[in-house]
DNA sequence: CTCCCTTAATTGTCCAGACAATTGTACAAT
DNA sequence: ATTGTACAATTGTCTGGACAATTAAGGGAG
Protein backbone atom coordinates (compact mmCIF):
# COMPACT_ATOMS: atom_id res chain seq x y z
CA UNK A 1 0.00 0.00 0.00
CA UNK A 2 1.66 3.14 -1.17
CA UNK A 3 1.35 6.06 1.11
CA UNK A 4 1.05 9.44 -0.45
CA UNK A 5 3.67 12.01 0.12
CA UNK A 6 1.41 14.33 2.10
CA UNK A 7 0.26 11.43 4.25
CA UNK A 8 3.83 10.54 5.09
CA UNK A 9 4.52 14.09 6.11
CA UNK A 10 1.32 14.33 8.13
CA UNK A 11 2.17 11.08 9.86
CA UNK A 12 5.68 12.22 10.68
CA UNK A 13 4.47 15.51 12.09
CA UNK A 14 1.57 13.86 13.89
CA UNK A 15 3.93 11.48 15.63
CA UNK A 16 6.10 14.31 16.79
CA UNK A 17 2.99 15.82 18.35
CA UNK A 18 1.48 12.73 19.95
CA UNK A 19 4.86 11.63 21.27
CA UNK A 20 5.26 14.98 22.98
CA UNK A 21 8.34 15.96 21.02
CA UNK A 22 6.41 19.09 20.01
CA UNK A 23 4.32 20.03 23.04
CA UNK A 24 1.02 21.87 22.99
CA UNK A 25 1.64 25.55 22.39
CA UNK A 26 4.73 25.06 20.27
CA UNK A 27 4.81 25.61 16.54
CA UNK A 28 5.45 23.28 13.65
CA UNK A 29 7.80 24.35 10.84
CA UNK A 30 6.33 26.82 8.35
CA UNK A 31 5.09 25.66 4.97
CA UNK A 32 8.23 26.94 3.32
CA UNK A 33 10.41 25.04 5.76
CA UNK A 34 8.47 21.82 5.18
CA UNK A 35 8.77 22.26 1.41
CA UNK A 36 12.49 22.49 1.74
CA UNK A 37 12.91 19.73 4.29
CA UNK A 38 10.81 17.17 2.46
CA UNK A 39 11.57 18.40 -1.06
CA UNK A 40 7.91 18.83 -1.98
CA UNK A 41 5.75 21.56 -3.42
CA UNK A 42 3.71 23.82 -1.25
CA UNK A 43 0.55 22.00 -2.24
CA UNK A 44 1.83 18.80 -0.66
CA UNK A 45 3.01 20.49 2.51
CA UNK A 46 -0.32 22.28 2.87
CA UNK A 47 -2.25 19.07 2.36
CA UNK A 48 -0.30 17.45 5.18
CA UNK A 49 -0.98 20.38 7.50
CA UNK A 50 -4.61 20.33 6.51
CA UNK A 51 -4.88 16.74 7.69
CA UNK A 52 -3.44 17.69 11.04
CA UNK A 53 -5.82 20.59 11.34
CA UNK A 54 -8.81 18.43 10.52
CA UNK A 55 -7.64 16.01 13.18
CA UNK A 56 -7.73 18.91 15.63
CA UNK A 57 -4.04 18.74 16.44
CA UNK A 58 -3.04 22.17 15.18
CA UNK A 59 -4.47 25.55 14.31
CA UNK A 60 -3.02 27.72 11.59
CA UNK A 61 -2.92 31.48 11.28
CA UNK A 62 -1.14 33.81 8.90
CA UNK A 63 2.08 35.06 10.32
CA UNK A 64 1.81 32.70 13.31
CA UNK A 65 2.23 29.43 11.51
CA UNK A 66 0.93 26.09 12.76
CA UNK A 67 0.45 25.90 16.49
CA UNK A 68 -0.07 22.62 18.31
CA UNK A 69 -3.36 22.67 20.24
CA UNK A 70 -3.80 19.04 21.26
CA UNK A 71 -1.53 16.11 21.75
CA UNK A 72 -3.96 13.31 21.08
CA UNK A 73 -6.93 12.59 18.89
CA UNK A 74 -8.67 9.80 20.79
CA UNK A 75 -11.82 10.30 22.73
CA UNK A 76 -13.07 8.21 25.58
CA UNK A 77 -16.10 10.20 26.63
CA UNK A 78 -18.30 12.28 24.46
CA UNK A 79 -21.14 14.67 24.85
CA UNK A 80 -23.44 13.91 21.97
CA UNK A 81 -25.49 16.88 21.03
CA UNK A 82 -27.83 15.72 18.39
CA UNK A 83 -29.64 18.90 17.62
CA UNK A 84 -29.77 22.57 18.27
CA UNK A 85 -32.44 21.79 20.84
CA UNK A 86 -29.97 19.62 22.75
CA UNK A 87 -27.05 21.95 22.59
CA UNK A 88 -29.09 24.90 23.75
CA UNK A 89 -31.30 22.85 25.97
CA UNK A 90 -32.68 25.86 27.74
CA UNK A 91 -32.91 27.66 24.42
CA UNK A 92 -34.88 24.98 22.69
CA UNK A 93 -38.18 26.60 23.48
CA UNK A 94 -37.09 30.15 24.02
CA UNK A 95 -36.98 33.14 21.71
CA UNK A 96 -34.22 35.66 21.30
CA UNK A 97 -36.01 38.99 21.57
CA UNK A 98 -33.73 41.48 19.90
CA UNK A 99 -33.65 44.94 21.42
CA UNK A 100 -30.80 46.53 19.50
CA UNK A 101 -29.01 45.90 16.21
CA UNK A 102 -25.81 47.79 15.58
CA UNK A 103 -22.43 47.73 13.96
CA UNK A 104 -19.56 48.15 16.36
CA UNK A 105 -15.83 48.45 16.35
CA UNK A 106 -14.22 46.12 18.83
CA UNK A 107 -13.37 47.99 22.01
CA UNK A 108 -13.91 47.65 25.73
CA UNK A 109 -16.38 44.92 26.65
CA UNK A 110 -16.85 43.70 23.10
CA UNK A 111 -13.10 43.52 22.60
CA UNK A 112 -12.79 41.34 25.68
CA UNK A 113 -15.53 39.03 24.45
CA UNK A 114 -14.32 38.77 20.88
CA UNK A 115 -10.63 38.64 21.54
CA UNK A 116 -9.95 40.13 18.13
CA UNK A 117 -7.88 43.08 17.04
CA UNK A 118 -9.00 46.37 18.43
CA UNK A 119 -11.22 48.27 16.03
CA UNK A 120 -12.32 45.29 13.97
CA UNK A 121 -15.89 45.70 12.82
CA UNK A 122 -18.63 43.36 14.00
CA UNK A 123 -22.39 43.25 14.01
CA UNK A 124 -23.95 43.21 17.45
CA UNK A 125 -27.46 42.08 18.33
CA UNK A 126 -28.49 42.42 21.92
CA UNK A 127 -31.60 41.54 23.86
CA UNK A 128 -33.01 38.84 26.09
CA UNK A 129 -34.09 35.25 25.76
CA UNK A 130 -37.61 34.52 26.87
CA UNK A 131 -39.75 31.50 27.44
CA UNK A 132 -43.12 32.14 25.84
CA UNK A 133 -45.66 33.07 28.47
CA UNK A 134 -43.15 33.70 31.21
CA UNK A 135 -42.41 37.23 32.29
CA UNK A 136 -38.90 36.93 33.69
CA UNK A 137 -36.33 36.54 30.96
CA UNK A 138 -34.17 33.43 30.77
CA UNK A 139 -31.00 35.37 30.12
CA UNK A 140 -29.50 38.54 28.74
CA UNK A 141 -27.77 37.86 25.49
CA UNK A 142 -25.54 39.57 22.96
CA UNK A 143 -24.75 37.98 19.62
CA UNK A 144 -21.79 39.15 17.58
CA UNK A 145 -21.67 38.38 13.88
CA UNK A 146 -18.64 38.52 11.61
CA UNK A 147 -18.83 41.25 8.97
CA UNK A 148 -18.86 38.49 6.35
CA UNK A 149 -22.50 38.28 7.42
CA UNK A 150 -23.25 41.92 6.74
CA UNK A 151 -26.87 42.28 5.78
CA UNK A 152 -28.02 39.19 7.63
CA UNK A 153 -28.61 41.19 10.79
CA UNK A 154 -31.46 43.05 9.18
CA UNK A 155 -33.19 39.90 8.06
CA UNK A 156 -33.22 38.20 11.47
CA UNK A 157 -36.71 38.54 12.88
CA UNK A 158 -37.02 40.53 16.08
CA UNK A 159 -37.92 37.32 17.87
CA UNK A 160 -35.66 34.53 16.72
CA UNK A 161 -34.76 31.02 17.79
CA UNK A 162 -31.23 29.76 17.38
CA UNK A 163 -28.95 31.90 15.28
CA UNK A 164 -26.16 29.73 13.98
CA UNK A 165 -28.24 27.83 11.41
CA UNK A 166 -29.03 31.19 9.84
CA UNK A 167 -25.31 31.89 9.65
CA UNK A 168 -24.68 28.57 7.94
CA UNK A 169 -27.42 29.22 5.45
CA UNK A 170 -26.30 32.75 4.74
CA UNK A 171 -22.72 31.87 3.88
CA UNK A 172 -23.31 28.32 2.71
CA UNK A 173 -20.67 27.15 5.16
CA UNK A 174 -20.80 24.75 8.02
CA UNK A 175 -20.01 25.44 11.63
CA UNK A 176 -17.25 22.94 12.34
CA UNK A 177 -16.90 23.42 16.06
CA UNK A 178 -18.06 25.54 18.96
CA UNK A 179 -15.90 26.69 21.81
CA UNK A 180 -17.84 27.22 24.97
CA UNK A 181 -16.75 29.00 28.08
CA UNK A 182 -18.70 29.05 31.29
CA UNK A 183 -17.91 31.36 34.15
CA UNK A 184 -19.42 32.73 37.32
CA UNK A 185 -19.59 36.51 37.40
CA UNK A 186 -21.02 39.12 39.73
CA UNK A 187 -24.32 40.58 38.62
CA UNK A 188 -24.47 44.34 38.37
CA UNK A 189 -27.64 45.94 39.77
CA UNK A 190 -28.64 46.88 36.22
CA UNK A 191 -28.27 43.32 34.99
CA UNK A 192 -30.05 41.97 38.03
CA UNK A 193 -32.92 44.32 37.35
CA UNK A 194 -33.09 43.22 33.73
CA UNK A 195 -33.15 39.60 34.84
CA UNK A 196 -35.69 40.37 37.57
CA UNK A 197 -33.57 38.79 40.25
CA UNK A 198 -31.51 39.87 43.22
CA UNK A 199 -28.00 41.19 42.59
CA UNK A 200 -25.35 38.62 43.32
CA UNK A 201 -24.05 35.86 41.07
CA UNK A 202 -24.67 35.11 37.47
CA UNK A 203 -23.56 32.41 35.08
CA UNK A 204 -21.96 33.65 31.90
CA UNK A 205 -21.89 31.36 28.88
CA UNK A 206 -19.90 32.42 25.86
CA UNK A 207 -19.94 30.44 22.66
CA UNK A 208 -17.59 30.86 19.73
CA UNK A 209 -18.67 29.40 16.39
CA UNK A 210 -15.95 28.45 13.90
CA UNK A 211 -16.06 27.14 10.37
CA UNK A 212 -13.64 24.56 9.01
CA UNK A 213 -11.08 27.21 8.12
CA UNK A 214 -10.99 28.42 11.71
CA UNK A 215 -12.85 31.54 10.83
CA UNK A 216 -14.78 32.94 13.79
CA UNK A 217 -18.26 33.67 12.45
CA UNK A 218 -20.41 34.18 15.50
CA UNK A 219 -20.01 34.78 19.20
CA UNK A 220 -22.80 34.65 21.71
CA UNK A 221 -22.52 35.99 25.22
CA UNK A 222 -25.32 35.18 27.61
CA UNK A 223 -25.84 35.95 31.24
CA UNK A 224 -28.11 33.88 33.47
CA UNK A 225 -29.31 34.56 36.97
CA UNK A 226 -27.92 32.07 39.43
CA UNK A 227 -30.44 29.98 41.25
CA UNK A 228 -32.86 29.32 38.46
CA UNK A 229 -30.27 28.08 36.04
CA UNK A 230 -27.70 25.32 35.93
CA UNK A 231 -25.82 24.11 32.93
CA UNK A 232 -26.22 20.37 32.65
CA UNK A 233 -24.73 17.82 30.34
CA UNK A 234 -24.28 14.11 30.08
CA UNK A 235 -21.01 12.62 28.88
CA UNK A 236 -21.21 9.12 27.50
CA UNK A 237 -18.39 6.71 27.14
CA UNK A 238 -17.92 5.51 23.58
CA UNK B 1 -16.86 41.66 2.79
CA UNK B 2 -15.65 39.66 -0.15
CA UNK B 3 -16.55 36.06 -0.43
CA UNK B 4 -14.01 33.81 -2.05
CA UNK B 5 -14.64 32.27 -5.40
CA UNK B 6 -14.76 28.70 -4.11
CA UNK B 7 -17.14 29.74 -1.35
CA UNK B 8 -19.49 31.29 -3.85
CA UNK B 9 -19.48 28.12 -5.88
CA UNK B 10 -19.95 25.94 -2.82
CA UNK B 11 -22.84 28.10 -1.72
CA UNK B 12 -24.50 27.96 -5.12
CA UNK B 13 -24.16 24.19 -5.32
CA UNK B 14 -25.18 23.77 -1.69
CA UNK B 15 -28.36 25.71 -2.28
CA UNK B 16 -29.26 23.56 -5.24
CA UNK B 17 -28.93 20.57 -2.93
CA UNK B 18 -30.75 21.91 0.13
CA UNK B 19 -33.52 23.32 -2.03
CA UNK B 20 -34.08 19.94 -3.57
CA UNK B 21 -33.18 21.02 -7.09
CA UNK B 22 -30.57 18.25 -7.05
CA UNK B 23 -32.11 15.39 -5.08
CA UNK B 24 -30.22 12.78 -3.10
CA UNK B 25 -28.71 10.24 -5.44
CA UNK B 26 -28.19 12.64 -8.30
CA UNK B 27 -24.82 13.94 -9.37
CA UNK B 28 -23.32 17.38 -9.43
CA UNK B 29 -21.41 18.57 -12.50
CA UNK B 30 -17.91 17.19 -12.86
CA UNK B 31 -14.90 19.27 -11.91
CA UNK B 32 -14.19 19.99 -15.55
CA UNK B 33 -17.75 21.18 -16.09
CA UNK B 34 -17.56 23.45 -13.05
CA UNK B 35 -14.25 24.90 -14.24
CA UNK B 36 -15.84 25.79 -17.54
CA UNK B 37 -19.11 27.05 -16.11
CA UNK B 38 -17.58 29.31 -13.49
CA UNK B 39 -14.38 30.11 -15.40
CA UNK B 40 -12.10 28.97 -12.62
CA UNK B 41 -9.15 26.66 -12.25
CA UNK B 42 -9.56 23.12 -11.09
CA UNK B 43 -8.15 24.02 -7.69
CA UNK B 44 -11.00 26.41 -7.07
CA UNK B 45 -13.66 23.97 -8.22
CA UNK B 46 -12.17 21.21 -6.09
CA UNK B 47 -12.04 23.47 -3.06
CA UNK B 48 -15.76 24.17 -3.44
CA UNK B 49 -16.53 20.47 -3.72
CA UNK B 50 -14.35 19.78 -0.72
CA UNK B 51 -16.48 22.10 1.37
CA UNK B 52 -19.60 20.25 0.34
CA UNK B 53 -18.01 16.94 1.14
CA UNK B 54 -16.89 18.13 4.54
CA UNK B 55 -20.44 19.25 5.16
CA UNK B 56 -21.56 15.72 4.38
CA UNK B 57 -23.70 16.73 1.42
CA UNK B 58 -21.83 14.78 -1.23
CA UNK B 59 -19.46 11.90 -1.68
CA UNK B 60 -16.92 11.79 -4.49
CA UNK B 61 -15.49 8.87 -6.39
CA UNK B 62 -13.34 8.69 -9.47
CA UNK B 63 -15.34 8.07 -12.58
CA UNK B 64 -18.62 8.58 -10.68
CA UNK B 65 -18.24 12.23 -9.88
CA UNK B 66 -19.93 13.99 -6.98
CA UNK B 67 -23.04 12.23 -5.73
CA UNK B 68 -25.51 13.94 -3.43
CA UNK B 69 -25.91 11.93 -0.23
CA UNK B 70 -27.85 14.29 2.00
CA UNK B 71 -30.15 17.20 1.42
CA UNK B 72 -29.45 19.05 4.63
CA UNK B 73 -26.43 19.45 6.78
CA UNK B 74 -26.48 17.31 9.86
CA UNK B 75 -26.40 19.30 13.06
CA UNK B 76 -24.77 16.97 15.53
CA UNK B 77 -21.95 18.19 17.71
CA UNK B 78 -19.97 16.26 20.22
CA UNK B 79 -17.64 17.10 23.03
CA UNK B 80 -14.70 14.78 22.69
CA UNK B 81 -13.02 14.16 25.98
CA UNK B 82 -9.99 12.04 25.43
CA UNK B 83 -8.94 11.37 28.96
CA UNK B 84 -9.42 12.30 32.53
CA UNK B 85 -6.87 14.99 31.88
CA UNK B 86 -9.14 16.51 29.25
CA UNK B 87 -12.39 16.10 31.08
CA UNK B 88 -10.91 17.75 34.13
CA UNK B 89 -8.73 20.02 32.13
CA UNK B 90 -7.85 22.13 35.13
CA UNK B 91 -7.36 18.95 37.12
CA UNK B 92 -4.86 17.44 34.76
CA UNK B 93 -1.93 18.57 36.82
CA UNK B 94 -3.56 19.10 40.16
CA UNK B 95 -3.75 16.93 43.24
CA UNK B 96 -6.71 16.28 45.49
CA UNK B 97 -5.41 16.98 48.97
CA UNK B 98 -7.75 15.15 51.30
CA UNK B 99 -8.44 16.81 54.61
CA UNK B 100 -11.18 14.61 56.00
CA UNK B 101 -12.42 11.04 55.42
CA UNK B 102 -15.73 10.08 56.97
CA UNK B 103 -18.85 8.01 56.64
CA UNK B 104 -22.01 10.03 56.56
CA UNK B 105 -25.73 9.53 56.46
CA UNK B 106 -27.36 11.65 53.77
CA UNK B 107 -28.81 14.79 55.31
CA UNK B 108 -28.70 18.51 54.81
CA UNK B 109 -26.10 19.64 52.29
CA UNK B 110 -25.03 16.11 51.37
CA UNK B 111 -28.63 15.11 50.81
CA UNK B 112 -29.08 18.00 48.42
CA UNK B 113 -25.96 17.02 46.51
CA UNK B 114 -26.67 13.31 46.34
CA UNK B 115 -30.40 13.46 45.79
CA UNK B 116 -30.78 10.03 47.45
CA UNK B 117 -32.99 8.76 50.22
CA UNK B 118 -32.49 10.53 53.52
CA UNK B 119 -30.23 8.58 55.81
CA UNK B 120 -28.51 6.54 53.10
CA UNK B 121 -24.90 5.90 53.98
CA UNK B 122 -22.06 7.30 51.87
CA UNK B 123 -18.34 7.83 52.16
CA UNK B 124 -17.25 11.44 52.05
CA UNK B 125 -13.78 12.74 51.28
CA UNK B 126 -13.27 16.47 51.47
CA UNK B 127 -10.37 18.77 50.83
CA UNK B 128 -8.94 21.02 48.16
CA UNK B 129 -7.39 20.67 44.76
CA UNK B 130 -3.96 22.21 44.39
CA UNK B 131 -1.54 22.91 41.62
CA UNK B 132 1.90 21.81 42.73
CA UNK B 133 3.95 24.81 43.76
CA UNK B 134 1.03 27.20 43.92
CA UNK B 135 -0.27 28.33 47.26
CA UNK B 136 -3.87 29.24 46.46
CA UNK B 137 -6.02 26.16 45.92
CA UNK B 138 -7.75 25.52 42.62
CA UNK B 139 -11.03 24.57 44.23
CA UNK B 140 -12.72 23.15 47.29
CA UNK B 141 -13.92 19.65 46.64
CA UNK B 142 -15.98 16.92 48.24
CA UNK B 143 -16.13 13.44 46.80
CA UNK B 144 -18.92 11.06 47.79
CA UNK B 145 -18.44 7.34 47.26
CA UNK B 146 -21.14 4.68 47.19
CA UNK B 147 -20.95 2.21 50.12
CA UNK B 148 -20.21 -0.50 47.59
CA UNK B 149 -16.75 1.03 47.70
CA UNK B 150 -16.34 0.67 51.46
CA UNK B 151 -12.72 0.24 52.30
CA UNK B 152 -11.46 2.07 49.25
CA UNK B 153 -11.54 5.38 51.08
CA UNK B 154 -8.75 4.28 53.38
CA UNK B 155 -6.50 3.26 50.51
CA UNK B 156 -6.71 6.50 48.58
CA UNK B 157 -3.49 8.44 49.20
CA UNK B 158 -3.86 11.73 50.97
CA UNK B 159 -2.82 13.48 47.78
CA UNK B 160 -4.55 11.88 44.83
CA UNK B 161 -5.13 12.65 41.17
CA UNK B 162 -8.42 11.71 39.59
CA UNK B 163 -10.66 9.42 41.58
CA UNK B 164 -12.98 7.63 39.20
CA UNK B 165 -10.33 5.30 37.71
CA UNK B 166 -9.77 4.02 41.24
CA UNK B 167 -13.47 3.37 41.55
CA UNK B 168 -13.48 1.41 38.31
CA UNK B 169 -10.51 -0.62 39.39
CA UNK B 170 -11.94 -1.33 42.85
CA UNK B 171 -15.23 -2.73 41.60
CA UNK B 172 -14.07 -3.95 38.24
CA UNK B 173 -16.83 -1.95 36.60
CA UNK B 174 -16.79 0.76 34.01
CA UNK B 175 -18.17 4.25 34.35
CA UNK B 176 -20.71 4.43 31.54
CA UNK B 177 -21.64 8.04 31.74
CA UNK B 178 -21.12 11.19 33.74
CA UNK B 179 -23.76 13.79 34.43
CA UNK B 180 -22.32 17.21 34.96
CA UNK B 181 -24.03 20.26 36.40
CA UNK B 182 -22.52 23.70 36.45
CA UNK B 183 -23.95 26.56 38.45
CA UNK B 184 -23.02 29.98 39.77
CA UNK B 185 -23.33 30.27 43.53
CA UNK B 186 -22.55 32.90 46.12
CA UNK B 187 -19.34 32.33 48.03
CA UNK B 188 -19.63 32.30 51.79
CA UNK B 189 -16.89 34.19 53.66
CA UNK B 190 -15.57 30.86 54.96
CA UNK B 191 -15.33 29.42 51.46
CA UNK B 192 -13.80 32.61 50.13
CA UNK B 193 -11.18 32.44 52.84
CA UNK B 194 -10.42 28.82 52.00
CA UNK B 195 -10.04 29.75 48.34
CA UNK B 196 -8.00 32.82 49.22
CA UNK B 197 -10.25 35.12 47.21
CA UNK B 198 -12.79 37.82 47.86
CA UNK B 199 -16.32 36.77 48.79
CA UNK B 200 -18.73 37.01 45.89
CA UNK B 201 -19.33 34.45 43.18
CA UNK B 202 -18.16 30.94 42.74
CA UNK B 203 -18.64 28.27 40.09
CA UNK B 204 -19.95 24.97 41.36
CA UNK B 205 -19.35 21.85 39.29
CA UNK B 206 -21.05 18.65 40.33
CA UNK B 207 -20.35 15.36 38.59
CA UNK B 208 -22.33 12.16 38.94
CA UNK B 209 -20.65 8.94 37.86
CA UNK B 210 -22.86 6.04 36.79
CA UNK B 211 -22.08 2.53 35.73
CA UNK B 212 -23.94 0.69 32.99
CA UNK B 213 -26.65 -0.45 35.41
CA UNK B 214 -27.41 3.16 36.33
CA UNK B 215 -25.83 2.72 39.72
CA UNK B 216 -24.53 6.01 41.09
CA UNK B 217 -21.02 5.21 42.27
CA UNK B 218 -19.38 8.55 42.82
CA UNK B 219 -20.34 12.17 43.14
CA UNK B 220 -17.91 15.05 43.14
CA UNK B 221 -18.82 18.56 44.19
CA UNK B 222 -16.27 21.25 43.54
CA UNK B 223 -16.32 24.97 44.10
CA UNK B 224 -14.12 27.37 42.18
CA UNK B 225 -13.47 31.04 42.77
CA UNK B 226 -14.84 33.18 39.99
CA UNK B 227 -12.32 35.21 38.11
CA UNK B 228 -9.44 32.82 37.72
CA UNK B 229 -11.56 29.96 36.51
CA UNK B 230 -13.76 29.30 33.52
CA UNK B 231 -15.10 26.00 32.35
CA UNK B 232 -14.15 25.57 28.72
CA UNK B 233 -15.04 22.96 26.18
CA UNK B 234 -14.93 22.45 22.47
CA UNK B 235 -17.82 20.83 20.68
CA UNK B 236 -16.92 19.28 17.36
CA UNK B 237 -19.28 18.46 14.61
CA UNK B 238 -19.21 14.79 13.63
C1' DC C 1 -25.78 -15.58 -19.46
C1' DT C 2 -21.27 -14.65 -16.81
C1' DC C 3 -16.67 -13.31 -16.49
C1' DC C 4 -12.73 -10.82 -17.86
C1' DC C 5 -10.55 -7.25 -20.21
C1' DT C 6 -10.08 -2.91 -22.26
C1' DT C 7 -11.26 1.86 -22.52
C1' DA C 8 -12.01 6.27 -21.10
C1' DA C 9 -14.06 9.46 -17.86
C1' DT C 10 -13.31 11.30 -13.49
C1' DT C 11 -11.15 12.28 -9.32
C1' DG C 12 -6.62 12.12 -6.70
C1' DT C 13 -2.00 13.66 -6.24
C1' DC C 14 1.66 16.76 -7.23
C1' DC C 15 4.37 20.64 -9.25
C1' DA C 16 5.86 25.74 -9.91
C1' DG C 17 4.53 30.13 -9.49
C1' DA C 18 1.72 34.46 -8.49
C1' DC C 19 -0.62 37.67 -5.72
C1' DA C 20 -3.86 38.72 -1.65
C1' DA C 21 -4.95 38.81 3.17
C1' DT C 22 -3.66 38.55 7.77
C1' DT C 23 -1.07 39.70 11.56
C1' DG C 24 3.20 39.70 14.83
C1' DT C 25 6.85 42.88 15.54
C1' DA C 26 9.29 46.92 15.86
C1' DC C 27 9.24 51.55 15.97
C1' DA C 28 7.36 56.20 16.10
C1' DA C 29 4.09 59.33 17.94
C1' DT C 30 1.03 60.88 21.48
C1' DA D 1 2.03 53.47 28.95
C1' DT D 2 -0.94 53.44 25.00
C1' DT D 3 -2.01 53.98 20.27
C1' DG D 4 -1.06 54.15 15.55
C1' DT D 5 1.86 52.87 11.46
C1' DA D 6 5.00 50.59 8.42
C1' DC D 7 7.16 46.36 7.47
C1' DA D 8 7.68 41.62 6.54
C1' DA D 9 6.68 36.81 7.52
C1' DT D 10 3.26 33.48 6.87
C1' DT D 11 -0.80 31.43 5.41
C1' DG D 12 -4.82 31.84 2.03
C1' DT D 13 -6.46 31.88 -2.64
C1' DC D 14 -5.94 30.91 -7.39
C1' DT D 15 -3.88 29.66 -12.00
C1' DG D 16 -2.42 26.10 -15.44
C1' DG D 17 -0.50 22.07 -16.16
C1' DA D 18 0.90 16.98 -15.66
C1' DC D 19 0.49 12.23 -14.58
C1' DA D 20 -1.51 8.45 -11.49
C1' DA D 21 -5.27 5.83 -9.56
C1' DT D 22 -9.84 4.41 -9.63
C1' DT D 23 -13.73 2.64 -11.60
C1' DA D 24 -18.28 2.69 -14.59
C1' DA D 25 -19.40 0.96 -18.86
C1' DG D 26 -19.09 -1.64 -22.80
C1' DG D 27 -17.39 -5.42 -25.58
C1' DG D 28 -15.56 -10.01 -26.40
C1' DA D 29 -14.68 -14.85 -25.01
C1' DG D 30 -16.25 -18.73 -22.84
pLDDT in tens, A149-169: 888 989 999 888 888 889 998
Compute the average pLDDT of residues B184-206.
Answer: 88
The count of other CB atoms within 10 Å of the CB of residue A91 is 21
For residue A84, the model assigns a pLDDT of 41
Mean residue pLDDT across chain A: 84
Confidence of residue A83 (pLDDT cuts 50, 70, 90): very low
Q: Whole-number Å distance, CA B4 to C1' D6?
A: 27
In chain A, the percentage of residues whose pLDDT exceeds 90 is 37
Cβ within 8 Å of residue B29, ≥6 positions away: B37, B65, B66
Compute the average pLDDT of residues A117-128.
Answer: 86
pLDDT at B92 over 80: no
Nearest Cα of chain B lies from the Cα of A43 at a distance, in angstroms, of: 10
Cβ within 8 Å of residue B220, ≥6 positions away: B141, B142, B143, B144, B163, B205, B206, B207, B209
Q: Which residue is nearest to nucleotide D13 (CA to C1')?
A: B4
For residue B175, the model assigns a pLDDT of 83
pLDDT at A130 over 70: yes
Question: B189: exposed, middle or buried (C-beta count within 10 Å: 0-12, 13-18, 19+)?
Answer: exposed
Q: Whole-number Å distance, CA A105 to C1' C10?
A: 48
Q: How far is A99 from A8, CA to CA, in rounded Å?
A: 53
Chains A, B: CB contacts under 8 A, how many?
167
Q: Which residue is nearest to nucleotide D24 (CA to C1')?
A: B63
Q: Which pLDDT tens digit goes with each residue over A182-208?
A: 888 889 999 999 998 888 888 888 888
Instruction: Give me the residue from B174, B180, B186 closest to A235, CB to CB.
Output: B180
Compute the average pLDDT of residues B94-123.
Answer: 89
pLDDT at B223 over 50: yes
Compute the average pLDDT of residues B14-41.
Answer: 94
Which has more confidence, B95 or B223? B223
Confidence of residue B95 (pLDDT cuts 50, 70, 90): confident
Nearest Cα of chain B lies from the Cα of A217 at a distance, in angstroms, of: 13
Q: Which residue is nearest to nucleotide D23 (CA to C1')?
A: B63
Q: Whole-number Å distance, CA A2 to C1' D20?
A: 12
Which has more confidence, B8 or B71? B8
Confidence of residue A238 (pLDDT cuts 50, 70, 90): low
pLDDT at B37 over 90: yes
Q: How far is A3 from A9, CA to CA, in rounded Å?
A: 10
Q: How far is the CA of B61 from the CAs of A2, A201, A236, B166, in angstroms?
A: 19, 55, 34, 48
In chain B, the percentage of residues whose pLDDT exceeds 70 is 87
Nucleotide of closest approach to B45 (CA, C1'): D14
Instruction: Give me the residue from B75, B230, B235 closest to A183, CB to CB.
Output: B230
Confidence of residue B230 (pLDDT cuts 50, 70, 90): low
For strand D, the positions having any atom within 7 A of a protein Cβ are 3-4, 8-18, 20-24
For residue A85, the model assigns a pLDDT of 42
3-class secondary-structure state, position A223: strand
B224, B205 contact by CB (below 8 A): yes
Instruction: Give me the residue from B1, B77, B80 closest to A178, CB to CB.
Output: B77
| DSSP H or E run through B152 | helix B152-155
Nucleotide of closest approach to A33 (CA, C1'): D10
What's the predicted TM-score (pTM) here? 0.79
Interface test with B, best of A18, A55, A76, A77 (most B CBs within 10 A): A77
Q: Whole-number Å distance, CA B22 to C1' C6?
A: 33
Helices assigned H by DSSP within A19-107 = 31-38, 42-54, 84-87
For residue A44, the model assigns a pLDDT of 97
Q: Whole-number Å distance, CA A177 to C1' C24?
A: 26
Instruction: Give me the residue from A147, A180, A226 closest to B235, CB to CB.
Output: A180
Which has more confidence, B68 or A120? B68
Would the Cβ of A62 be found within 7 angstroms of any atom in strand C?
yes
Query: Does the beta-carbon distance from A184 to B177 stay under 8 Å?
Result: no
pLDDT at B55 over 90: no
Question: From A171, which residue of chain B is nearest by alpha-carbon distance?
Answer: B11
Q: Whole-number Å distance, CA B63 to C1' C3?
A: 22
Nearest Cα of chain A lies from the Cα of B2 at a distance, in angstroms, of: 7
For residue B33, the model assigns a pLDDT of 96
DSSP A23: -
Query: Does the beta-carbon distance from B78 to A83 stay under 8 Å?
Result: no
Lowest mean pLDDT among B10-24, B123-137, B156-170, B220-234: B220-234
Q: Which pLDDT tens digit goes with each residue over A33-75?
A: 999 999 999 999 999 999 999 888 899 999 999 999 887 765 4
Q: How far is A61 from B194, CA to CA, in rounded Å?
A: 41
Which residues, in sequence order, are bridge partners of residue B101? B125
Contacts of A237 in chain B (CB under 8 A): 174-177
For residue B40, the model assigns a pLDDT of 96
Provide the CB-side half-sphere exposure for B71 (13 A, CA): 9
Lowest mean pLDDT among A30-34, B68-72, B126-130: B68-72
For residue B84, the model assigns a pLDDT of 42
Which has more confidence, B206 or B229? B206
For residue B79, the model assigns a pLDDT of 60
Taking CA A183 as the corner, what is the angle to CA A182 and CA A184, rounded to the nearest 5 degrees? 140
Amino acid sequence: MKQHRYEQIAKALGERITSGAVPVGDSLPTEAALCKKYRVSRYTAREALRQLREAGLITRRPRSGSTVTASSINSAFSLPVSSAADLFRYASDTRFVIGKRERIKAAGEALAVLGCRRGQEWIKLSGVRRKPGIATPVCLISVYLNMALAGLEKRIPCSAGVIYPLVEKELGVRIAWIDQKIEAVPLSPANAAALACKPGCGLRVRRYYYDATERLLEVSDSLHASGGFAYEMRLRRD
